[in-house]
Amino acid sequence: MPDPHMVSVDDLLARVTAIFVGCGLRPENAQAVARVIVAGERDNCKSHGIYRIEGCLRVLAAGKVSPDAVPALHDSGKAVIEVDAGGGFSNPAFDAAVDALATRARETGLAALVIRDCLHFSALWHDVEALAARGLASLSMCPSYAFVAPAGGTEPLLGTNPIAFGWPRPGPQPYVFDFATSVAARGEIELHRRAGQPIPEGWAIDGDGAPTTDPETALAGAMLTFGGHKGSAISTMIELMAGAMLGEFMSREALDFMGGGGLLPRHGALVLALDPGTFAARSGRDPIAEGEKLLGAIGAQGARLPSARRFAAREAALRDGIALSDAEMAQLARFEAQ
């Protein structure tokens, strides 16, 4: 990047929060959405960083998200806790429920959070990191829009359906992986399109089912699942668990409801939280220490752990600031002037 502009994490957070407040979001909602976007930029996850502001503003302008939704927590004392996002963004709903979820998981060993009726655009590592910081293992997943063909098919039917896993470790950096079940997130293809760059082979097919490296053709055709039939099955599981099982939209329905993929998708999300201490209690072994043996052995082979790149980017950003290009600075200024 030629001569990037260095912006501190706190300054970027203040600016992005102000953009959303200026667009009418309730301050708590603006803060929650800005936090996850700035965290993405800080960790150099460009596909879910400040590039997402535009999509959030578009859905706000279209009146398809409730700016002042107040998340409503429904806790009947059972293992499953629900939070109704009320047609608002998912992030404030998660923030409103995470402590209740963690408390229930510690009480019972295993608890689930159902997020209902939310606009979802964000990376999921944010959720599982929050639970790892509370000493819990977790899985987070949600459907998306039907942009992805099932393995062996050619028509978009599944979402890019992300799944994230978090495992607590001694120290501030948990074990976390987080990925789309498509080969790449749709945001990555969109960023290639904007940069005028071809996408790698194997990411997508055109309308006739032929492989394509043209981002425009890929966005109009169908994306492919990672790992062929294996990613296809995991993506299907996410449709069933975080869509059908919750009584919320699956990716096909989300696309039909919004009348196309131009706006952020509205659906539900599922977060499972597990207390390792409860599961291991009768074994007499310390699950975190046992986990460290494996994670250490992976590192000893010279293999990197998922999120290691992200944590390194985070450290650099907290120390030196976030590097933004001229185009990104200009875009921020445009949003601020709106």
Say whether 188 is catalytic: yes
Q: How far is the CB of 312 from ligand NDP (least distance, A)?
A: 8
Q: Which of 90, 91, 160, 181 forms a contact with ligand PYC (CB under 6 A)?
A: 160
> Among 108, 104, 103, 68, which Cα is nearest to 87's?
68
The catalytic position among 41, 48, 239, 248 is 48
For residue 225, give the amino acid letter.
T
| Count of CA atoms in the C-beta half-sphere (13 A) of 190 | 13
Give the C-alpha separation, 118 to 265, whole Å: 8
Q: Does 185 bind ligand PYC (CB under 6 A)?
A: yes
Which residues, in sequence order, are bridge partners of residue 81?
A: 113
**310 touches, from ligand NDP, ligand PYC, none (C-beta below 5 to 8 Å by class):** ligand NDP
Q: Which 12-51 positions form the footprint of ligand NDP (CB under 6 A)? A: 45, 47-48
Helix/strand/coil for 122: coil
Got the DSSP string for 40-103? HHHTT-GGGSTHHHHHHHHHHHTT-S-TT---EEE--SSSEEEEE-TTSBHHHHHHHHHHHHHH
> Is residue 128 within 8 Å of residue 138, measured between CB atoms?
yes
Q: Does 179 bind ligand NDP (CB under 6 A)?
A: yes
> Among 255, 32, 37, which Cα is nearest to 156's?
255
Q: Which of 22, 67, 198, 306 forms a contact with ligand NDP (CB under 6 A)?
A: 306
Closer CB to ligand PYC, 120 or 134, in the complex: 120
Q: Does 264 bind ligand NDP (CB under 6 A)?
A: no
Residue with tokens 């590097």: 323
- The contact pattern for ligand PYC, residues 236-265, with x = CB under 6 A and - = no contact, is -----------------------------x
Q: Does 187 bind ligand PYC (CB under 6 A)?
A: yes
17: exposed, middle or buried (Cβ count in 10 Å: 0-12, 13-18, 19+): buried
**178 touches, from ligand NDP, ligand PYC, none (C-beta below 5 to 8 Å by class):** ligand NDP
Q: Does 15 bind ligand PYC (CB under 6 A)?
A: no
Residues that bind ligand NDP (CB under 6 A): 45, 47-48, 120-125, 142, 144, 160, 162, 164, 177-180, 184-185, 188, 304, 306-310
Residues that bind ligand PYC (CB under 6 A): 47, 121, 144, 160, 180, 185-187, 265
